[in-house]
Structure 1
Amino acid sequence: MVLVCLKCGAQYCADATPSICMMCADERGSLGRNGQEWAKKSDVFKTHKNSVHEEEPGLLSIGTEPLFGIGQRALLIQTGVGNILWDCINILQPETAKDIHSRGGIQAIAISHPHFFGGIATWAEEFDSPVYIHEKDKQFVTEPNSHIQPWSGDEKELFGGARLLRLGGHFPGSAVLHWSGGADGKGILCTGDTIQGLKDRRWVAFMLNFPLYMPLPADQVARIGRTVKAWQLDFERLHCGWTGQSVDRNAKQVVIKSAEHYVGLLDGSVEREYF
């Protein structure tokens, strides 16, 4: 039996379930008002279903209805030479699996950071896919699976113009995925919340803990901004881990501008009257 944390969606084998979810107990997590709550994964499957829609040509958004855990979605990148599932969700309905198999299945699963680990065993076993997580975050795997393949360093090339890039910050291994074929060849960046898209599409955010509004230190945001600026990779659009929070145009410039403004507010170089 598999138990699921109702707050974050982390999955545990019943005989290895802690009193408090490891992810929620971490400084980047949070508990709800009622403390730790668990559910049988089989029960969650009875009350939730997948929602699937095209985010843009070659990119499907796969979510959960009603929202579950932290409300995240997964993205299916159809590169033309194989499909990549970016990030993961707990639910995989038989009809969703059938639909994805009809589109060529999944040849690789890549995860931005541990808050998207829930469900990777289910998806990996269904599609017999390797799961790429950064080695710096492998201690956060709550449901071990033989498909998991930790990667190291700051870059990992996949296939079809897709590449993983480690930025750190939110977690030491926090990564993003760049796909050169997205946005009609102008490139897209899939970010989870390593870089967080917002309702205001002119900006993105960088945080240590989103539920508790704990910011990343200024030097870490500056480092992320410099790293993105130095990339020999362009991306017109940015797709984060939540529906309705994509950056539709000039996404690389938006990331760089947001990082510089964020740092300026924290170090005082942006002049503003506060008192």
Structure 2
Amino acid sequence: MPITRIAIGTPEEAKSPDCLKAVLAEFISMLIFVFAGEGSGMAFNKLTNDGATTPAGLVAASLAHAFALFVAVAVGANISGGHVNPAVTFGAFIGGNISLVRGILYWIAQLLGSVVACLLLKLSTGGLATPAFSLSTDVSVGSALVFEIVMTFGLVYTVYATAVDPKKGSLGVIAPIAIGFIVGANILAGGAFDGASMNPAVSFGPAVVSWTWAYQWVYWVGPLIGAAIAALIYDGIFIGQGTHEPLPAADY
């Protein structure tokens, strides 16, 4: 089982130049992603005078997040692995592909990147609200939790298949494209129900800046459960003990 390969890491790892560069890369990638994704939602609200979400608005949000995540993953891939998501980092940890020490530093960088992106958006738009994730009126907490689990499972499964699996070969730019596409598709599927976060940092930044914490736990628990399931299934079944090779930090 992949969980047997979990690594804690050492304090020295946290001080290494390689680790510090990777943490900075995660911060920058998350800032790029949230600024574009959250900014697209704020632009829609401005153009519609905070009107109701429309199919066109949902498609626009899907495309903005897909394109932004493709870029954010691609620019960080050779430095940090391009996680750009605490759930992806957690899934990598469960599979033994990142140590606990480095994973915690990634989480801090990702959360800070999201908060800074939202603060910059608020500043540059003259104080416009940064909308926090919320459930639609006809969606229960249980339904939203299932949405987040399933959507994040699909995301992290895609990450394992295109970026982590040692048998993936030379996929090059395919991994960032596939990761961006699955997020965009999931937003089309779940955006009208719970906002389709799949990323605790993406929901955390707007919540901090707008100080809106309703159901915030859903956007943490759901993605982390989905990520863990994806890691256990893909690593345990398709990679397996015999074929697993620890990934260099430069690769993931």
Q: TM-score, normalized by length of structure 2?
A: 0.25
Q: Quick check: which one's helix share is greater? A: 2
Q: TM-score, normalized by length of structure 1?
A: 0.24
Instruction: For CA contacts below 8 A with separation 6 or more, give which structure has more relative contact order.
Output: 2
Q: Quick check: which one's strand share is greater? A: 1
Of the two, which has the highest radius of gyration?
Answer: 1
